[in-house]
Every structure is written in structure tokens, then in C-alpha cells.
Structure 1
Amino acid sequence: MGRPKLNLENYRAFLVDLDGVLIRSFEVLPGAPQALEKLKKMGRVIIASNNSTRSRASFADGLQKLGFAVEPEMIVHSAYIIARYLLEQAGPSPVFILGEDGLREELELAGHRMADPDRAKFVIAGLDRALTYEKLSRALRALRHGARCLATNADPTFPTPTGQIPGAGAIVGALTGMGFSPIEILGKPSRIAFQIAMQAAGVQNPKECLVIGDRLETDILGAQRMGMDSVLVLTGVTAKEDLERSELQPTWLMESVAALVR
């Protein structure tokens, strides 16, 4: 028996990935702004992303310039999630980061402060395209002084218009190789990430959420763990060949987010 036809009216919230679904390195994917508008008319849309390179405000500003009607509060990304989680668990804390401006800004907005390795209580690892051996050495120093490690996500790669580049998972791998694995990885597919996204959407029942993403190991796995339906689009990381080899399957498969709302 085949899968039932997708009816978007069955959902109150849409948790939509960013990179590989709506954009690729701030290049708009065809029909994505129009698709997002149609989804917004049907329910609450949350941009649920593992990208920690920019703040929510910066992402919203950039997306608006690309033609997306997006406000900062619609964005729940790994930098926001980790900043909120740390605040709830430990209060405002001194941190040392392996990451970019977006991670730093979200941490500071939540009341955390940047600290030298000797004073940091947490090392926060995210995507850092300016990573150096010196930064890793300073992170190791903080960890050896008792700091605990948190990571935004463990995505092995990051999509760009010219192909895949190393993702935050490569940095997590470097820390693990030094003997310090993160005590928590807060982005997708963690339950925490999806719970915070649900709260932002104002829904309590996972069955009322539809996850739309391009990665099996984050979007689709996280949706499955939460009991949410999911749509995998083929405009990002996962290809049809990957899907055919995987035991992990989405509820539905679409060529693109634009095809989803046709």
C-alpha cells in the first residue's frame, strides 16, 4: 500500500530547513520565496537551521533582501538554541568559541560573555571557516582547565554553490580526536532543537508539524525521533541515490520546496 497523498492543510506548523531547501550560500533556490509564502498562509513557519554563522537578525535581514518575508523570531537555528540551552542550564556563562560572528552574537544576546581559555567554563563549537591550529590549541587549553564542551551540530559538510565544504562536524571531530567529545550536540537532530522549534511555532503536538529538509541524518532523523512527518527535498545534500541506500526514509520525497506547494 502506497503512502497517502501529502495534504499540507493537515499541519499547523512547518519546520523548514534553510541551506539546501530555501537557499544555497545565500543564492535563492528557484521558487523558494513563493513557496514559503504559501506555507505561511497555511500555518506557522519556522526556519529550523543548523547554520550558526550568522545571528537570527542577520539571517532575517539577508533573507529579506533575497525576497523572503522572514522576521528574526521565525528563525530557530543552532546558535540560538545553544545560547538558550546554556542559559537555562547554567545561567550567563564565560565561554570560549570555535565559531563565527553569528554564534558569538547569539551567545552575547543571551547574556554569555567571551572569555580566555583559562577563564572559560564552556567551549562552544560551531562552523568556523576561519579555524586555525591556534584556535584549536586555545580550545584544548580551556578543556584541559575543566571547561565543558557543547556543539551546535555535527553536520559533516556544508552546502555551497560550488560543492560541499567541511561542516561543524569536522570541528567536533577535531575536539573528539583530542579526547574531548561534546557533552551535548544541540542542533538537529537533537530533541532539544525540535522542541524549541515547536515552542516557537506555538504547537505542542508533534503530529501537527511537518519537517521540510534536505538531510537524512538531521532533518529526517530528527523528525522521525519526534514522531513528525517529513519531506525530503533534493535541492541540497541528499541525492536520490543516497535515499535508495538508506534505511532512514522521509514520509514524502519532493524535487524541491517549490514542488511541495504546487
Structure 2
Amino acid sequence: MILTVRKHPYIAIGGVVIAVVFFIALAAPLLTKFNPLELNGKSRLLPPSLVHPMGTDHFGRDIMSRLLYGARTSMQVGISVVIISTIIGGLIGLAAGYYNKIDNLIMRILDGFMAFPGIIIAIILAAVWGAGKLNIILALSFAYFPQMARVVRGCVLTGKEWECVESAKSSGAKDGHILLKYILLNSLSPIIVQATFTFAVAILDEAALSFLGLGIEPPHPSWGGMITEGRSFMGVAPWGMIFPGTAIMVTVLGLNLLGDGLRDYLDPRLKV
């Protein structure tokens, strides 16, 4: 275990960062005594102090409490997007890679989606469907499932040539059994790596959508929404933007490091 950590420090660093974010998201009520939605006109724009370690915003709300509860929003959105995009993309990728007759049609449709940046698709869908956590999750899932589909399709195209798959076909095994037992279970490494990058992009894009007013509806705490609210008071209370911006940066960096580390660790070509 120690040798693995020394050889792949990105996994350790990224894993610790994400574990801390998950912990503060789950333990938010225990880590702060302030209600993130409580208004206090007498405590507007207070600088960081012992009472308010990260200061207060223009409504007198404790920034630290909003940051902790905002972590819940980011984790919920990230996990949901990963699950939905992996399921949809995985099913499409399995079908496209295994059945040659529909492969070309499916991939041309996915190419059409991928011709546009994912954030553009998410912005359009969020604008049409409206703000809210569920709509943001669906918009981001719809924007990023094509990448997962292409990863799974590539795994299937490679797996179809394995001897165990050919043997299963000749013995009369059903397609679903072959796809799940022989191909999908032996192709989890690239899927896991892609999932970590999707997680990072989902958190970053949720913050971007909230910053644009298309994400989590106020007054519910969201890191992107906190940056939007703090922008108007950047000159007198910069802590309103610094702390949520740092949280986004550290979380996305941790996920990217974890994804890079897992890619290096799980890639057999990089093993000695």
C-alpha cells in the first residue's frame, strides 16, 4: 500500500482532498452553528473573525456555513451526473460497439452532440428547462453522456476480439451475458477514470451555471451562486468570492489529480 502511494502520489492527494470535501458535506450541521439561510442585517459584510471564520455576506449570512452546505450541493450534482451519464452512455456505448449495424448511426449522432462544448449544451438546456437542482443534473448528464459512450464503445470494440468472448459466442452465450460478464467487467478501468473527470466537470459547470443565474436557485447555498452574490461587493468584501472560488478550485483539482492517478495506476502499459 505504501509503495503504491509513493509510486502514484496523485491518487493519495486527490483521494484525501475528495474525502475531506465529502466529510464537510456530510458533517456540515456539526461543523457550524449558523443557519446558511438566516439573514442578519446587523452583521452585513463582516470580515473573517473568530465568530465568523470566513466573514459574512451582504445579507449577514455566515459564509462558512453557506460554503459547507454548498459542498452538499456540489457533491449531489456531481454524483448524480456521473451516475446518469454513465448509465446512459454505457448502454449506448455497449450497443454501438457490439452491434455493427447501428454503430455508424449512433456514433454520427454522438458526433453531432460533441461538436458543441458540453457547457454550451448545458446552458441551452438549463435556459429551456429552468433553474433548479434536478434540471441542472439532467442538463449536465445530457451534455456529457456522449464522452462516456465513446469510452465504453472503445472498450467493447477491443473486447470483442478477446478469445474468451469468441469462446462464449461459440458456446451459445447470449449477447447480454457476454457484454456484462466478459467485456464490461473487464473494462471498468477506463470507465472509472472517465467518471472522475466527469465528476470534476460537473462540479465546475454547476458553479458556472449558478454564476450565470441558471443553476441552484437562491437563497439555497451554491458555490457558483456565492461567487455571483459576492461579485458586487468584491471591492469591500473580497472574502465573499475568495472562499467559494478556492473551494471550487481545490475540489476540481483534487478530482483531476485522482483521475490522473487512477489512469496511471490502472493502465497496464504503465506498469513495470
TM-score by length of 2: 0.25
Greater relative contact order (CA < 8 Å, ≥ 6 in sequence): 2
Larger proportion of helix: 2
Larger proportion of strand: 1
From the CA coordinates, give the structure whose radius of gyration is larger. 2
